[in-house]
Amino acid sequence: MALSKQDADWAFNAYEAVLPRLPQAQFPDRYETAETLSDIATHFDTFLLDSFGVLNIGATAIPGAVERIEELRTLGKRIIVVTNAAGYPKHVQIAKYKKLGFEFAPQDIVSSRGTALAAIASAPDYTWGLMAAPGFGLDELDHLKTQFLEDDPTVYDTVDAFFLLGSSIWTEARQNLLEASLHRNLRPIFVGNPDIVAPVEDGLTRQPGHYAHRLADATGVQPQFFGKPFSNIFEQAFMRLDGDFDPARTLMVGDTLHTDILGGRAAGVKTALISDYGSLAETDVKAAIKASNIVPDYVLSRP
């Protein structure tokens, strides 16, 4: 199911409003158009794929996406999923993709969650306040001192820093508790998912980036973002390639101008925007590119 135009316009405007906090990049003067990745596959050796809007919408695989991945692999292409889905441990991500029909090994997935955890490894010995769903437990986080941010206001004041991973059970009341605590004592915020929104079957969900930017506006805190469009997640992806890759033959494929396309271009690789699924499905893509001045190398109808 495509997003409504109202949702798509809201998401676009929300990203435009935070552009000063996003990376700078150089863009081509114009873009080429094609139907699918098959049409441009000969130009690239490595494909960096967003998840939402490219592989799936919520719990539904995008038609033809499973077959396209297998086709690219048959051609000898390297496929890496580069995702801002930080709320889930990697084994849950792999199981989700498998249920949708995709076969990805752990080394095929680079997540903003893992990118943030790599940075936390060199951070002080903080007690972290977690924006995350306790239902997933502390898998991959059990080496950290953590407290889940729920409805007890004392927790917000006793932790040393905040780690925003997933917002599926976040509420306005909890946002207000966090904002009030930061007003009393400004502390570091690590954001494991910079996305403002994510598309699902029936619309948009607000993501940790949405709440982090609100906190920055309200308190003056400067969140540290991990994931697209920031370079840290691309550095993690390039490490998977052992430095043996040609940026000119590497393609970032996504559905969002302000994360996938901006991030890919800032990282020095080529980019392709998916127009018929995800965040721009009900939008005039040509107008959105012109309004944002974020220009992909290609616009594809579908993966």
Residue 224 CA to residue 286 CA, distance in Å, equals 32
Look up the pTM and report it: 0.94
Separation between Cα atoms, residue 166 and residue 206, nearest integer Å: 10
Mean pLDDT for 255-262 is 96
Q: Which of 190, 225, 260 is the last residue of a domain?
A: 225
| pLDDT confidence of residue 294 | 98
The answer on 237 and 214 residing in a single domain is no
Same domain, 221 and 274: no
In the predicted model, is pLDDT for residue 201 greater than 70? Answer: no
Same structural domain for residues 68 and 139?
Answer: no
- In this structure, the answer to whether residues 12 and 109 fall within a common structural domain is yes
Q: Domain containing 187: what range? A: 115-225
Task: Provide the residue type at 76 as one letter.
Answer: G
Q: Which amino acid is at 70?
A: E
Is 58's pLDDT higher than 90? no
Average pLDDT over residues 274-289: 89
Each residue of 110-135: pLDDT tens digit?
Answer: 999 999 999 999 999 999 999 999 88
Look up the CATH number of the domain holding residue 138.
3.40.50.1000
Give the separation between CA 156 and CA 140, rounded to whole angstroms: 22
pLDDT at 103: 95
At residue 86, what are phi and psi to the nearest 5 degrees?
-100, -10
In the structure encoding, which two tokens stand for residue 130, read together? Answer: 């977690």
Mean pLDDT of 178-203: 90
Query: Is residue 154 located within the same domain as residue 169?
Result: yes
Residues 107 and 239 in one domain: yes
191 and 284 co-located in one domain: no
Give residue-wise pLDDT tens across range 32-46: 999 999 999 999 999
pLDDT beyond 50 at 89: yes
Instruction: Provide the pLDDT confidence category of residue 221 given band limits of 50, 70 and 90.
Output: very high
Q: Cα 1–164–161 angle (5° rounding)?
A: 175
Residues facing 299 on adjacent strands:
33, 273
- Say whether both 208 and 247 belong to one domain: no
Judge whether 252 and 82 are in contact, CB under 8 Å: yes
> Given this model, what pLDDT does residue 176 score?
98
**pLDDT-derived band at 1, boundaries 50, 70, 90:** very low
Q: Are residues 137 and 203 in the same domain?
A: yes
**Could you tell me what percent of the chain has a pLDDT over 90?**
82
- For residue 202, the model assigns a pLDDT of 66
The answer to whether residues 289 and 24 touch, using CB atoms and an 8 Å cutoff, is no
Structure tokens given for 192: 């494991």
Instruction: Determine contact, residues 54/278, Cβ cutoff 8 Å.
Output: yes
**Residue 286 has which token pair?**
């040509």
Q: Taking all residues of the chain, what is their mean pLDDT, rounded to a whole number?
A: 93
Residue 198, pLDDT above cutoff 90: no
The amino acid occupying position 58 is G
79 SS3 class: strand
Total structural domains in the chain?
Answer: 2
The dihedral sign for the CA sequence 242, 37, 295, 212: negative
2 pLDDT above the threshold of 60: no
CA 171 to chain centre: 21
Whether 22 and 78 share a structural domain: yes
